[in-house]
Amino acid sequence: MTNLTLLTKAWNGGQIRQIDESLHTQFADLDVDLKVLSNPTNRWVQVTLEGEDQAVATAYIRKEIGICPTSLDAIEADMVLKGYVSKIDIAKQQIVVDVGVFEPKATYAIVALSNLQLQLADGKNLGFKQITDAYAITEGVPLSVRILSKDGDILTAELSSEQALLLQSWQQSLLDRLVVLRASKELVSEVLERTRLNRDVIDVEQLGLFEFALVCKLGTDAAGLVSRMGRYMRNAVFVVFAAKKA
């Protein structure tokens, strides 16, 4: 039997069912027994695989979805890990990122203000909230980090170069984005069509399995989309990314 923690979180039973149905469809021709469940503590999705083709199914999951390291022993400096923002700690001026480590206990990667200033503010002395607000970094947002050091159960990190470049490119595009969390791609597409906002949204960027960035056309204010979409997406969380217009 193989136990895996997928590189995605599920926020309700419907999302667990979507993952379960998708994987069962992919593995329909394989000799593998699949079970999907959610860790109630941190919402990471876990699967068990058993059968002659479990190695094939495991390889597919690693490539198409990704898996979490789960164990602190597996973490080393310079590793790039994907996770979710667990907390915006204003008091300590740091971002707490859940990278899927929960053995022997839940352990998080910490991104300090000084690193954010170097990577997103050209080293300028900008405030913590100023940076996180400017780049729509908030709880639940997917984030990729590079581990700088591991001291016992303390993981010090910075944004991965890919993550920093992505956020910088958002600002340079001068286009607003509406980040939608805890929603399926099908629901996002359905609501955009239903509200006719697909005329104002020029692209949908997938950040995670249930996380998306809706790219607004030039002149469209992302904040204005929230009320129109929110009435049809009551379980979703919206985060506005407002590009600099200077």
Domain range for 8: 2-64
Domain assignment present for residue 210? The answer is: yes
Give the model's confidence band at 246: pLDDT under 50 very low, under 70 low, under 90 confident, else very high: very low
Is 118 a domain residue? Answer: yes
Cis peptide before 104 (omega within 30 of 0): yes
Gap between the Cα atoms of 150 and 157, Å rounded: 9
Of 64, 81, 97, which marks where a domain is finished? Answer: 64
Residue 183 in 3-state DSSP?
coil
Q: Classify residue 136: in a domain, yes or no.
A: yes
Task: Tell whether 59 and 101 lie within a shared domain.
Answer: no
pLDDT bucket at 33, cuts 50 / 70 / 90: very high
45 part of a folded domain: yes
**Which residues pair with residue 82 across a beta bridge?**
144
- Residue 244 pLDDT greater than 80, yes or no: no
CATH number reported for the structural domain that contains residue 179 in this entry: 3.30.70.100
To 10 degrees, the CA torsion angle through 118, 119, 124, 129? Answer: -110
Q: Give the model's pLDDT for residue 39.
A: 76
58 and 76 both lie in a single domain: no
Our count of domains for the chain comes to 3
- Looking at 169, 194, 209, the residue that finishes a domain is 169
- Domain finish residue from 143, 169, 195: 169
Query: Do 74 and 156 reside in the same domain of the chain?
Result: yes
Inter-residue contact 75 to 101 (CB < 8 Å): yes
pTM exceeds 0.85? yes
User: Is residue 246 assigned to a domain?
Assistant: no
Query: Which CATH number characterizes residue 116's domain?
Result: 2.40.50.140
**Tell me: the pLDDT tens digits for 141-160?**
999 999 999 998 999 999 99
Q: Residues 146, 87: one domain? A: yes
102-124 pLDDT per residue, tens: 999 999 999 999 999 999 998 88
Residues 97, 34 share a domain? no
The pLDDT value given to residue 245: 52
List pLDDT tens digits, range 48-74. Answer: 999 999 999 999 999 999 999 999 999
Give burial (CB, 10 Å; 0-12/13-18/19+) of 152: exposed
153 shares a domain with 212: no
Regarding whether 207 and 124 lie in a shared domain, the answer is no
